[in-house]
Amino acid sequence: MVLLVTRATGGGVGTGVTVKGGGGVGAGVTAKGGGGTSGGCSISTAGGDVLGGGGERPDNGGVVAHAPTPRTAAASTAARSHAGNRAIERKSSTMSRGEPLPALERTLYVVATPIGNLRDLTLRALDVLGQVDVIAAEDTRVSAGLLAHYGLHARLVSLHEHNEHKRAAAIIESLSSGKRVALITDAGTPAISDPGAALVRAVSAAGFAIVPIPGPSAVTAALSAAGIATPQWLFLGFLPVAAGARRAALERVRTLPYALVFYEAPHRVAATVALLAAELDSRREIVIARELTKRFETLHRCALADASAWLAADADRMRGEFVLIVAAPDDDGTEADAGEHDALLRPLLAELPLAQAVRIAVAQSGAARNRLYQRALTLQKMVKASS
């Protein structure tokens, strides 16, 4: 058995992760609905023990940490407590042994929970979930199972995409009265294709501290095991449902020099994989990561052109939860030319046999025969699938 351990540099998480044997994953670029969300924001922070730390918090890539101006008397009290938290942060950032710390009053803990295997709950998550007064959970029935498994008894309140704003007000009330609150979702890290961002924003704006308790997330689990050597990746979460919007979302990213990472549900995975092969260069590699950390965990790597056939070969391969990772395009202008090639091939294929269509397209474009041939095959499959 070989265990791969990475070296966190300067206590940073997410950037600068060193992967043995070259080829890092980790310097993530995150976009929801096609738009980035990382630049120039401000957040409040509070303490916690920092593993591998040393010195102040690591550089956050343009994110400025500060305490917002409190707006009410309650918020003022919160701000005082917040200042205390910052002091704890300074002290604790020199710790590296990870002693358990008491959960702080007037603090919202954003806690990652397992994506399948219940033993993936971190020790810190266990500490915090065992101490908070209230846990806001996406589906209280799902989370009740997790709490029962660990013998935890905090009060659960529901917080999902339809009540997040309303619930935020109640949670701010709880924090004002000195409570400790945790936020969890059904699986993985809150706010990653899950509710949580609006609550965090509201709580932060009210002057209370936010503490992340990092842990499992399907996106990082899949990337860590995909073996896709790319310094940058773009997380697109779920593609839109409507056909036009799905295509448009891919059109926006097809030429970007990043690996593309998607979440997908079982009833849409076949259609999404077919769409990726049709809209992106079908020679790009895909890793299909299914049921991570669970009994039927599968990681399959192939060319995009072959992915639909692999899925269709066994109905079980379409069951469960999926992360799809498409490797970055080759640095040869492949994707930039793809639209042009499609425009040339489509009308030819509508009238002529494949070989003849490809011959004419090669003569007109000067592109490599094999490249146009592969693309023509994909286009032909798409036409067949849609007729």
Residues from 210 through 249 that contact ligand SAM (CB under 6 A): 217-219
The verdict on 78 binding ligand SAM (CB under 6 A) reads no
Q: What ranges make up the beta strands (E) of the chain?
A: 28-32, 35-36, 42-43, 64-65, 107-111, 134-137, 155-158, 180-184, 209-213, 233-238, 259-264, 285-290, 298-303, 322-326
Please say which residue, 326 or 361, places its beta carbon nearer to ligand SAM: 326
The verdict on 325 binding ligand SAM (CB under 6 A) reads no
Q: Are strands 259-264 and 298-303 parallel, antiparallel or unpaired?
A: unpaired
Return the C-alpha torsion angle 264, 269, 274, 280, nearest 10: 10
In whole angstroms, how close is the CB of 215 to ligand SAM at the nearest point?
9
CA 47 to chain centre: 24
Per-residue tokens: 129: 């979930």
Per CB under 6 A, the segment of 50-58, 61-69, 285-293, 353-361 that binds ligand SAM is 285-293
Among 137, 289, 376, 379, binds ligand SAM (CB under 6 A): 289
The verdict on 85 binding ligand SAM (CB under 6 A) reads no
Report the alpha-carbon distance of residue 78 to residue 202 in Å, rounded: 14
The three-state secondary structure class of 31 is strand
Per CB under 6 A, the segment of 20-28, 147-155, 319-327, 376-384 that binds ligand SAM is 319-327
Report the alpha-carbon distance of residue 138 to residue 185 in Å, rounded: 5
Per CB under 6 A, the segment of 41-49, 289-297, 337-345, 349-357 that binds ligand SAM is 289-297
In whole angstroms, how close is the CB of 274 to ligand SAM at the nearest point?
17
Count other C-beta atoms under 10 Å from residue 32's C-beta.
15
Q: How many residues bind ligand SAM (CB under 6 A)?
A: 23
Return the C-alpha torsion angle 217, 221, 222, 224, nearest 10: 140
In whole angstroms, how close is the CB of 226 to ligand SAM at the nearest point?
12
The verdict on 28 binding ligand SAM (CB under 6 A) reads no
> Which residues make up the interface to ligand SAM (CB under 6 A)?
115-116, 185, 187-189, 192-194, 217-219, 263-265, 289, 291-294, 321-323
